[in-house]
Amino acid sequence: MAITYISSSQQIIGANHPYYADTKNVAGQYINTQFLVEHASDGDHEEQRAYMLFYEIGSYVGDATNPHEITLSNSNLSVLYLEILADLTEEATLGTEDMGKVQGWETLGGVPSETIDFSSTGSFTIESTDDLVNKNATTYYYFALGVDTTSTYTGDAGAGSDPDWVEDGDLLYGDGTKTSIANQVEGHIETAFLHEHLNSGVHNISTFTPKIEIGTYEGDGNDDRNITLTVTDLDIQYIIAGAGDFVSKTESLAGDNSKVNDTAAFQANYIQSVGTGTFQVGDDNDVNQNGITYYFMAIGE
């Protein structure tokens, strides 16, 4: 697609119209300004969707069978990174598509253990009956990160239909009554533009692509301490934080529970809660020892 500026010689209402010669030109300037906020001059999005990052948090119940397929809510999500948390005296596990497996956090660097099939879009398959990932009747919480090249945005209504374009009249002036035709044309273009944009010209894809913040905070040893993000509207869905042993939590992991990524069950007093633009830590030394610098990564909407 190529969008070019509408010059005075290309106005829908002709340049020599005695009353409304600049109507289309003004509309064109306004819409073109909006369009260029996040687009190149040739009409392409400056941030292509083809390789947008997506994530999903959720849970599944182990059944001790091999294979055990976990179906994702997003049927178009191809998983590249996977982390699994469970309320067991087992390590958190993580893996990547290249590994084709997940292994315990504390044993990273060794031979990956539990096989995970990442090949299907919209799911991952556990090919193990080990308690680490598939103990019968045990709930596991996952954070899946990947790409989605086919998702269709479903935010605003459709882009409308073609307008009734101005027909040539006497002396090549546009037919119509006063400004009504120009308004119809501008209205159509604006409706189409707003299909996936805000009024300011910004892509309206907040439900389509995640937000991320990485940062640090200095421990102070105080319980119930709130850490404020720079991205204040980031609704945290997954967070990992720490300085030695790292601690993970997803929004679906209820209450004060979080997972220290070693051989421990879910515990309180670590990452106590997540919210929009903030998360709360307890006074455990793994997350809030006085004078220690802690590192975190928060991902959400």
CATH number at residue 119: 2.60.40
Structure confidence at residue 295 (pLDDT): 92
| pLDDT number for residue 264 | 85
59, 143: one domain: yes
Co-location of 261 and 128 in the same domain: no
In a domain, 287, yes or no: yes
Q: Give yes or no: residues 127 and 180 share one domain.
A: no
Domain housing 104: 53-147
Q: What is the pLDDT of residue 82?
A: 92
Q: What is the pLDDT of residue 189?
A: 65
Burial label, 55 (beta-carbon count in 10 A; 0-12, 13-18, 19+): buried
pLDDT at 42: 61
198 lies in some domain: no
Tell me the H-state helices in 174-259: 180-193
Q: Say if residue 112 is preceded by a cis peptide, omega within 30 of 0.
A: no
Structural domain contains residue 43: yes
228 and 188 assigned to the same domain: no
Shared domain for 41 and 163, answered yes or no, is: yes
Q: Which residues does the chain have with pLDDT short of 50?
A: 1-2, 8-11, 48-50, 153-179, 206
| Separation CA 195–CA 193 (nearest Å) | 5
Number of folded domains that form the chain: 3
Decide if 301 contacts 210 (C-beta within 8 A): yes
Q: How wide is the angle at C-alpha 254 spanned by C-alphas 262 and 138, nearest 5°?
A: 60
Is 215 in the same domain as 274?
A: yes
pTM recorded for the entire structure: 0.68
Same domain, 159 and 228: no
202: in domain: no
Helix boundaries (H) for 15-59: 23-35
User: Is residue 42 assigned to a domain?
Assistant: yes
**Residue for token digits 């292509």?**
48
CA distance 223 to 270: 9
Q: Please name which of 176, 188, 159, 183 lies closest in space to residue 24, comparing C-alpha atoms.
A: 183
